[in-house]
Structure 1
Amino acid sequence: MDPAIQKMIHGFRHFRKTYFSDSTELYSRLRHGQMPAALMIACCDSRVDPAHVTRSNPGEMFVIRNVANLVPPYHPDSTFHGVSSAIEYAVCVLEVKHIIVLGHSGCGGIHTLMSEEWHNHPSEFLTRWLTLAEPARHRVKERLGDRPEELQLRACEESSILLSMENLMTFPWIRERVEAGNLKIHGWYFNLHEGELYDYDSEKEEFLPLAGESDSL
């Protein structure tokens, strides 16, 4: 058997022992349904597992993952909308209290977006998907087009989070809940190099460290 698959099987055995033996109360509750407090919209990058990064237990987060943690604007029609349908379920059925858009450093999707290659060599699906983040790319090129590539990439990673937050507010049933104070939208940025998590402060219009060294464990 392939070592990677074998490792997953060993992992499941550990999971089964931990949650079905030691935490039987948790799964006794979860068998009857889920009541997550938050919806996490994250990148599908294998290095950034939302549950692992936040040390969340099963049932605590409803998670949507896609390339570059993007949210399309509200656009109901007859085509397929995987992200929007999952958002609708989390907000309208599960009634989550928080939506968190989690971006990260070294995002391959954003790197592709910022390169010229994606224009010259379009892919079957990825190129079209990344056009959702074109406004973020445009903002960065307009403001920081003469700055180093590394700075532009981080700026676009952060800008794409803000764009997803803006697009969330185009959903009428999200806007209604936010304005009523029943739902809050957060923008988080995980820096893989620093091991730091940042939260967007709308008043200061910048990402600020969310967890200090002195925080209790």
Structure 2
Amino acid sequence: MNSNPESPLASLVEGYRRFRSGAWSINRERWATLSDGQSPQVMVIACSDSRVDPAQIFDVDPGEIFVVRNVAAMVPPFETSPGYHGVSAALEFAVQFLRVKEVMVMGHGMCGGCQAALTQDLHGNEPGQGGFVADWIGLLDEAREPIVRELGTTGREAERAMELAAVKQSLANLRTFPCVIEKEKRGTLALRGTYFAIADGVLHLLDEANGEFHPAG
């Protein structure tokens, strides 16, 4: 395939070449081992935002974390209605087949999905014109209400409150899945809430006992 030397594809292919001659060659034995299967201990549910790559933030090697990324790092509640349940399928695979020990929800600062959920600017749009996004972040409608009453729909304070509330909402939705309920009750699965602040690069951990996020250090 030919590509314009100034195209994004050309830049990606150049990056692949650096990877192939560098990291891949250096860790060739690890890649060979991974070709036989994976056994990550942690599933990370993160936002699709290009600025918050979990593998980069946690400085992990390939095979260490099982990652699902979507708009606003959301987990839908358990349901059996017809349709395509991508996040639910990935969660089921991680928990039931890979048997991860922890599931982490990682929100982040300046999240466009959470901002859209707060302002509801996309509500009423047709699918393909913002409607798919509006339906998805509608998962945050209930969490949005107290924030809007106290802080309104604009400003960084309200946005951050929405971003933190989204993490808690996804954790609550995780606990509607029977497999998660069972394994958490048995102590074989732990749920974690985290928040990465883009502006200062600080990771915050949720203390579910008091509902507060604290810097990891």
Is the structural similarity TM-score above 0.5? yes
- The percentage of aligned residue pairs carrying the same residue is 37
Deviations 1:190-214 (A, max 9, x none): 000111000001123200001x2xx
- Alignment match of 1:88 (pick from 85, 92, 95): 92
Contact 1:40–1:102 (CA under 8 A) maintained in structure 2: yes
Deviations 1:165-213 (A, max 9, x none): 0000100101111111111111110000111000001123200001x2x
Q: What's the TM-score once normalised by structure 1's chain length? A: 0.91
Say whether 1:167 aligns with 2:190: no
| SS of structure 2 residue aligned to 1:125 | helix
| SS of structure 2 residue aligned to 1:119 | coil
* CA distance 1:139–1:18, change in 2 (3 Å): farther
Correspondence for 1:114: 118
Correspondence for 1:215: none
| SS of structure 1 residue aligned to 2:213 | strand
**CA shift at 1:140, angstroms?**
1.3
* CA distance 1:79–1:120, change in 2 (3 Å): closer
Output the CA distance in 2 between the equivalents of 1:120 and 1:76: 26
Correspondence for 1:141: 148
Amino acid at match of 2:108: H
**CA shift at 1:98, angstroms?**
0.8
Contact 2:45–2:104 (CA under 8 A) maintained in structure 1: yes
Contact 1:19–1:26 (CA under 8 A) maintained in structure 2: no
Q: What's the TM-score once normalised by structure 2's chain length? A: 0.91
- Alignment match of 1:38 (pick from 36, 39, 42): 42
Q: Which runs of 5+ in 2 are unaligned?
A: none
| SS of structure 1 residue aligned to 2:105 | strand
Contact 1:187–1:200 (CA under 8 A) maintained in structure 2: yes
- Alignment match of 1:130 (pick from 132, 137, 148): 137
Contact 1:101–1:187 (CA under 8 A) maintained in structure 2: yes
Amino acid at match of 2:71: V
Count of aligned pairs: 210
**CA shift at 1:141, angstroms?**
1.7
- Alignment match of 1:195 (pick from 195, 201, 205): 201
Correspondence for 1:58: 62
Amino acid at match of 2:16: F
Output the CA distance in 1 between the equivalents of 2:138 and 2:154: 23
Correspondence for 2:186: 180
Correspondence for 1:150: 156
RMSD: 1.6
Correspondence for 1:49: 53
Deviations 1:61-104 (A, max 9, x none): 11100000000000023211011001100110100011010110
Amino acid at match of 1:37: Q
Amino acid at match of 2:134: T
Q: Which runs of 5+ in 1 are unaligned?
A: 213-217
